[in-house]
Amino acid sequence: MDRYKTGIRTFPAGSDLYYQGETSDEMYTLLDGWVFRYQILEDGRRQILEFTLPGAFLGFQPNRQAPMTHSAQCITDVAACVFPSRNVFELFRANPELALRMAWITSRDWTLAQEHLTNIGRRTARERVAHLLLELFYRVRLCDPSPRGDSIELPLTQEHIGDALGLTSVHVNRTLRRLREANLVAVEGHTLRILDPDTLADIAGFDSEAVLQRPLSTEPRPLHG
């Protein structure tokens, strides 16, 4: 895989890796920083589909000539490994193991999207927020297992959270306050502390197995890095 990369590039916070509606001839392995995928409606309403962490693979679309179905924006400054998407399928044909990993990665993304669908479609604001915070907490932990403790760095605004959960940022604010008042979480600045993970998981109906989906040793690993 390394042979095909065009190099490592950095992107400033707020910039987009690619845009919905345009074709993209690059793919990315996120090395450092946070990115989110999102869709925009004509009138500006925004749905955040997923927050992606280092290790994520971005920009793959099975149909290369088709315009991207979503955009991807950097939340923080980002470092990413860039690949041309020109010859993905040839590459996959030449390296079956890569195709397998791609299937694995896409499938995991899809499972996460399903959790998000259920979260948005069938849970209350309180449950949704609790669920997202737990998801991000455990995903960040998984991504960087070193800092044991009850807090992570969370570079999101309340608007990000709202757009991911189908809520307004105002309502996210009120919901977070109530969770704070119940001594379940503490969100100060860009730090999230999970004070009562069990109660929170109970509220959220959070199943860490379903959300985290680690690869098994006998099965494919991530594409890169």
Partner DNA sequence: CGCGATTTTGATCAATGTCAAAGGTGGTGG
Partner DNA sequence: CCACCACCTTTGACATTGATCAAAATCGCG
Residues that bind its own copies in the complex, under the rule CB under 8 A: 37, 39, 41-42, 45-47, 49, 60-67, 69-70, 89, 92-93, 96-97, 99-100, 102-104, 106-111, 113-118, 120-123, 163-166, 205, 209-210, 213-216, 218-220
53-71 burial by CB neighbour count: b if 16+ within 10 A, else e?
bbbbbbbbbeeeeeebebb
State the minimum distance, in angstroms, from the CB of residue 159 to DNA.
5
- The site partner of 131 among DNA, its own copies, none (C-beta below 5 to 8 Å per kind) is none
Nearer to DNA by C-beta: 14 or 84? 14
Contact 100, 220 (CB under 8 A): yes
Which residue among 31, 125, 182, 212 contacts DNA (CB under 7 A)?
A: 125
Binding part of the chain for DNA, among 55-63, 97-105, 111-119, 161-169 by CB under 7 A, reads: 161-169
d(C-alpha 51, C-alpha 47), whole Å: 11
Cα distances from 84 to residues 3, 97, 135, 148, in angstroms, run 11, 18, 31, 37
d(C-alpha 21, C-alpha 70), whole Å: 7
Which residue among 158, 184, 185, 206 contacts DNA (CB under 7 A)?
A: 158
Other beta carbons within 10 angstroms of residue 139's beta carbon come to 19
- Which residues contribute to the site for DNA (CB under 7 A)? 124-126, 157-159, 166-171, 173-174, 176-177, 189
